[in-house]
Each structure stands twice: as C-alpha cells, then as structure tokens.
Amino acid sequence: MSDLDSVFSLEGPLAASIPGYRTRVQQLEMAKAIEEAIKLGRQLVAEAGTGTGKTFAYLVPALLSGGKVIVSTGTKTLQDQLFNRDLPAVRDALKVPVTVAMLKGRANYVCHFHLDRAMNEGRFISREDANYVHKIRAFADNSSTGDKSELTDVPENATIWPAVTSTRDNCMGQECAFYKECFVMEARKRALAADVVVVNHHLFFADVMLRDEGVAELLPSANTVIFDEAHQLPEVAGLFFGEDVSTSQLMELARDAHAEYITTAKDCTALPEATAALEKAVRDFRLVFSFEGSRMPVQKAQALKNFESAYATMQEKLNVLAQVLESQAERDPAIENCWQRGLALQQKLQAWQKADNANLVRWVEVFSQSVQLHATPLSVAEGFGKQLNAQPRAWIFTSATLAVKSDFSHYLGQMGLQEATTGYWNSPFDYGQQALLYVPNGMPEPNSPGYSAAVAAAALPVIRASRGRAFVLSTSLRAMREIHALLKDAFSSEGMEYPLLMQGESARTELLDRFRALGNAVLVGSQSFWEGVDVRGEALSAVIIDKLPFAPPDDPVLAARIDKMNAEGRNAFMEYQLPYSVITLKQGAGRLIRDEADRGVLMICDPRLIAKHYGRRIWQSLPPFKRTRDIAEVEAFFEQAADDALAEAGKA
C-alpha cells in the first residue's frame, strides 16, 4: 500500500479529522497521477467529474511533495475558500509543517498613500463613501493584511475602493512614504517565504506578463504550479497576452494629476485645465458609441461617426497633460509617477491604433462609463508555451470540464500543452438514479422570434413539478430578462407562488443566500450562474437551460479565429465552436447534482441536441443521465423523489 492509499483510506488521517469524509476511487487515482507528475516534473491535464473531491486530490500530494507549490484558482471566492478552509484542513490532517500564504492583486489591499490622500482631499462621490472612508481608516490601522475582503462593513462594490487602493499605474513603489507599511509588499514577503501560495488566474497571468504583482518572484523557486478551474485559462490568458488600454486609465490619470495639483502644485494653473480637457475628451470619445455592452471589431468602430476625430482629440489632450506634468515632475515623486503614466498611455494608444501583428485581433468593448481597446491574440499557445518550458517544474491543470467525450485535444491545442499527459475521472455520483435529462418536444429553432416564449412555456410544467427550486440559465442577458418577464406573468396568471429572483437584482452571493433560505425559489440567471455556484440539497432540484451555449458569432475574436482556422482548411465548428459549447454546457449542468443525496432534472430546451448530427456528441459528453422527452416522466421523477424523502423522514 502506498502512502496515498493509507492517507485516503477510511483508517487514514483525512477520515480521522474531516467530518463526513468518504473514500472515492477516482479521488485516489487522481491523487496518484498528480503525485507522479510532481515527482517527474511533468505537465498533467486532469478532468474530474463533480464529487470526485479534486481539491483534496491535488492538495495531499502537493503538501507531501516537500517543494514550493503555487495553487491558482478561478475566482477570489475560491481562493479564499482554499486558503481559509481546505488548505488548513488537509495540512492539519496530514500534520505536515508547511507554511501557506495568499496573494491577491494589489486592488484587493488598502493603500496607505491613497487612503491618506482621499481623507485629506475629502472629495467623495456619495455620503456613503464619506462614511466608509473612516471605517477603512480604522481597518487599515488595525489589520495585519489590509485585505478588503476582511472588512465586511464596506461592500466590495462600494465606489470608495478605487480611491483607497493602488493600481499598477499609480503605485509609488519605493518612492512611497508608506513603503515600509505597505500591505501589498507584506503580502509578497509572506508569499516568498511560504511553502504553498494561493493566487488566482488573473493575478498569475497579469504578473507573468507585467512582472508586477509578485508571482514573477515566486515562479523561479516553485516546483509545482496547480491550476484549479483550469477551463478558464484560455480566456484569462488571452486578456494578458494581448495589448489592451482603457479610457478608465486616462480618467484615473486625470483624477490623480488633479489631486496632485490640489496637494502639491497649486501654483500650476495649467494642470487643472489639462486634466479637465482630458476628462472631456474621454467622455466625448465614449459618446461615439451609442450603447453599453457592445463588442465590435476595429473596422466597425472606425466606421462610426466621429471615431477618428474623437480618438485624435483624446490623444492630443493626453499629450498636453503629459507635457504639463513633465514641467512639474521634479516637485514630487507622485507627479513624476503621473508623468510616466501619461507617457506609457500615449504609447499604448499609438500602438493599439497601429497594431499590425497578424496574431492580434483589434476590437472595442463598450461599458457604461468607459471604452476598452483590446488587441487579443488569436492563440495563447505560443506565449504560454514559453512559460511552460522556461525551467523544469510540474504543471497541473484540473477542472470538471476540460474534455469533449474524454478527448482533450481542443484544450491541449489552446494552451500549447503538446507534452502533457491527461487523466479523466468520471463523477462518483449515480446519475442514472439521481438525475434525469429532459429535452422537450416541439421546440422551435433557437434563432426564431418566439423562442424565449417557448422556453418559458416549456419550463412551467417542470417548475410546477419541482415545486419551484429551479435555476433557469440563459445564454444572454436579453434572453434572461425576457424569460424572467414571461415567467413572472405566467406565475401570476396561474397562481404559482414561487419566489422569482433574477441575476442583477442584488449581488450574486446575496441572491444565492436568498435562494437557499427560501427553499422553493426560481432564479433566472445568465453567465454568472453557469459556474462556481454550489447549492446542495432540495433547494435546487431543476436546472433549465434555454440554448446550447455557443459563443456569439458576432464576437470579434471568435470571428477572427474561425476565419483563420477555415482559411487553413480546418473545420472551425468541430474543432473550436463545438468544444467551447460542450465545456460551457458541462459547467451549467454541473450545478444540478452536488452530492450523493441530491436528485434533480436537467432540462435543455434546445432542439439541436436531438435534431443535429453533433447533438449526440454533446449529450454523450454530459454525465450519464437517464434521458427522456416526456414531461410525464419528469413529473413521475419528482413524485418518486418526494415519496423517497418522506420515507427517509419516517425512518429518522
């Protein structure tokens, strides 16, 4: 028996110290594969179905390896969970003397310099911010970490946070008067000294590319890098292997430069004139675009009325501000910092305008207050491949959704993982008994005008049978709003008194807490609820998906990738679009069954799952649900589940 056999056995340390621990063959096999990859310094891509316990499967061999380990997670929420709950539990169970640290991006830590300046200026967007800043001051004076997630009295989305945290652009570095007290520097020191460091994907790639947040210092000494929720990596890596610039960076520069006028350079009257002119030019550029939420290729943006002139004016006003800042730079390090930022932004705006790299797609994304100018790589494989081969170490990529019918070629190609070995472990759950996949008859084509109405109508009998307790997941915000409105009307006219919630009504965590507490709610959501959501028990008994989640065909990067693949004689639909849809659908379907006692129905409304030749490939990539097209079977399934629950209650 190997060490891992004994660790994961019912007589082992995990079972002895972790309540509710169960042995799973898949978990042990996965842990052994990871142990071997760490020992040999290999790349391993591992898919493990829901319920495998993949977190313990990688933490145990990682903690026992004796080397330095970086664990990167998909979100800050998972990062906090890993650091505060899972890592301590495994470390205590194994009784290994490893030190652990967590490192987040600098925007997560209170900045003494910017907090001090915000309080001195006293200019706040709202009364709430003026109140919050005193709470943040008290927190900063007493906190050992400065991590804003620990200050629950101030909402994470409060508008005060950008004024009291630093960015890569406006950090003063060693010139800062508060350098010795800096929370970011302290977090980096702890990370450098620790055996296991928990980061998130955005931080990892931001640092790898920008050499900014501390991971670059960690990487050389790391023996193992583990990516959890690794299905997110291609998109995240694309953000950082490209060349982007946002109008919000220009606005922040203007704001910071104006603050320096107030505090340091009051006699320089040209400075407030230059900052006001830049702010106006940025706002005028935003007005070139009629609505938020749009994404368009550069050619479409350039064809808009006033685009070229507004872009040129924005550059001109930035140049003027940079010249004024240069004339004042010797007065104070903060003004010099603003000047250097101005020069860097000038170069970024010029580079984006003239970008001629065949691997970069230039496109524009419009938000309510800002415009993001992207130059995104068609492929991150080459750029990431350089990181993989920089020096010998183990790289572990794991998720519940990486493969299409146990085929990893799509993911391996995206990430440049030609040398990787792969491992595939099915969920230990009994999907044939626990769940039902229902595809309704008679649905119209997904692009037809009345499709959302057909989805809502088909969902009603399922919601009635499940007594609420459902997620309705849509592939777009527009469809989400339509379906929500249709269900609201139907609930009213048919006397269905289930609470109806919708994404965006409040923060995601608050909505989920309400959903769990209500016990019979219906939550209509879009992208935010397709992954990273864990609702166990009867509160979630049905997941209803409106369409197969193909990426929107008007997405500029997708369109360019499709054109390139087709020009090379490849089948972009089968090689790229279909795998993307399968992996995303698996994430949505994964919300349904979260433990051995869960039971529920997955309803996919899209008729292409049955009618199209590729539909079989999609449903065969899902867990082995029992399948039906008959609503009577769905109703019988829920009746049986209710009877079983009553019988269990009777035994108790």
Percent of the chain with pLDDT over 90: 69
Name the residue among 163, 73, 86 with its Cα closest to residue 126.
163
Give the whole-angstrom CA distance, residue 462 versus residue 447. 23
Residue pair 198/369 in contact by the 8 Å Cβ criterion: no
> Please, which residues have CB within 8 angstroms of residue 273's CB and are 6 or more apart in sequence?
none
Structure tokens at 632: 């009577």
CATH fit for domain 431-651, picks 3.40.50.300, 3.90.420.10, 3.90.226.10, 2.70.50.30:
3.40.50.300
DSSP string, 239-252: HHHS--EEHHHHHH
Structure tokens at 400: 């519940």
What is the average pLDDT score of the chain?
Answer: 91
In the predicted model, is pLDDT for residue 2 greater than 70? no
| Residue 438 DSSP symbol | E
With cut-offs at 50, 70 and 90, classify the pLDDT of residue 210: low
Outline which parts of the chain fall under CATH 3.40.50.300: 22-99+194-240+379-425, 431-651
Calculate the dihedral angle through the C-alpha atoms of 562, 566, 571, 577, rounding to the nearest 10 degrees: 0
Which of 119-123, 295-299, 463-467 has the lowest average pLDDT? 119-123
Report the sign of the C-alpha dihedral through residues 243, 247, 250, 256, in that order.
Answer: negative
Residue pair 411/45 in contact by the 8 Å Cβ criterion: yes
> Please, which residues have CB within 8 angstroms of residue 215's CB and are 6 or more apart in sequence?
70, 103, 199, 203, 204, 207, 208
> Please, which residues have CB within 8 angstroms of residue 620's CB and are 6 or more apart in sequence?
405
Q: What angle do CA 178, 163, 310 make, to 5 degrees?
A: 125
In the predicted model, is pLDDT for residue 141 greater than 90? yes
Residue pair 87/55 in contact by the 8 Å Cβ criterion: no
pLDDT at 330: 92
User: Measuring CA to CA, how many Å separate 594 from each of 3, 195, 439, 498, 597?
Assistant: 29, 31, 21, 23, 8
pLDDT at 615: 93
In the predicted model, is pLDDT for residue 528 greater than 50? yes
Residue pair 76/203 in contact by the 8 Å Cβ criterion: no
Residue pair 626/436 in contact by the 8 Å Cβ criterion: yes
For the chain, give the longest Cα–Cα distance: 82
Residue pair 41/393 in contact by the 8 Å Cβ criterion: yes
Q: What is the mean pLDDT of residues 470-496?
A: 95
Residue pair 14/32 in contact by the 8 Å Cβ criterion: no
The pLDDT tens digits for 148-176 are 989 988 888 788 998 999 988 888 888 88
In the predicted model, is pLDDT for residue 213 greater than 60? no
Strands 600-604 and 421-425: unpaired
Give the whole-angstrom CA distance, residue 640 versus residue 625. 16
pLDDT at 1: 45
Name the residue among 526, 522, 545 with its Cα closest to residue 625.
545
The pLDDT tens digits for 17-65 are 998 898 999 999 999 999 999 999 999 999 999 999 999 999 999 999 9
Give the whole-angstrom CA distance, residue 449 versus residue 442. 15
Give the whole-angstrom CA distance, residue 188 versus residue 101. 9
Q: Is 424 left (phi over 0), alpha (psi -120 to 50) or beta?
A: beta
pLDDT at 219: 76
pLDDT at 9: 95
State the SS3 of 153-199.
CCCCCCCCHHHHECCCCCCCHHHCCCHHHCHHHHHHHHHHHCCEEEE
* Burial class of 509 by CB neighbour count within 10 A (0 to 12, 13 to 18, 19+): exposed
Q: What is the mean pLDDT of residues 217-246?
A: 89
Question: Which backbone phi and psi does 574 adopt, to 5 degrees?
Answer: -75, -35
The pLDDT tens digits for 91-103 are 999 999 999 999 9
The pLDDT tens digits for 351-393 are 998 877 778 899 999 998 899 999 999 888 988 888 887 788 9
In the predicted model, is pLDDT for residue 645 greater than 80? no
Give me the sheet containing 360-366, strands edge to edge: 245-246, 371-377, 360-366, 295-297
Write the CATH number of the domain with boundaries 22-99+194-240+379-425: 3.40.50.300
Q: How far is CA 167 from the centre of its chain?
A: 20
CB count within 10 Å of CB 315 equals 18
pLDDT at 124: 78
Question: Which backbone phi and psi does 623 adopt, to 5 degrees?
Answer: -55, 160
Question: Which backbone phi and psi does 529 adopt, to 5 degrees?
Answer: -110, 5
In the predicted model, is pLDDT for residue 604 greater than 80? yes
What 3-state DSSP class applies to 418? Answer: coil
With cut-offs at 50, 70 and 90, classify the pLDDT of residue 215: low
- Helices and strands (H and E) in the chain: how many: 30, 18
In the predicted model, is pLDDT for residue 214 greater than 70? no
User: Measuring CA to CA, how many Å separate 408 from each of 1, 237, 247, 334, 644?
Assistant: 31, 18, 38, 49, 39
Name the residue among 578, 481, 585, 473 with its Cα closest to residue 527.
473
Q: How far is CA 105 from the centre of its chain?
A: 14
Strands 295-297 and 360-366: antiparallel
The pLDDT tens digits for 262-312 are 888 899 999 999 999 999 999 999 999 987 778 899 999 999 999 999 999
Q: Tokens 């004339």 sit at which residue?
A: 327
The residue that leads in pLDDT, 357 or 107, is 107
> Please, which residues have CB within 8 angstroms of residue 381's CB and are 6 or more apart in sequence?
413, 414, 415, 416
> Please, which residues have CB within 8 angstroms of residue 421's CB and are 6 or more apart in sequence?
33, 37, 42, 43, 44, 45
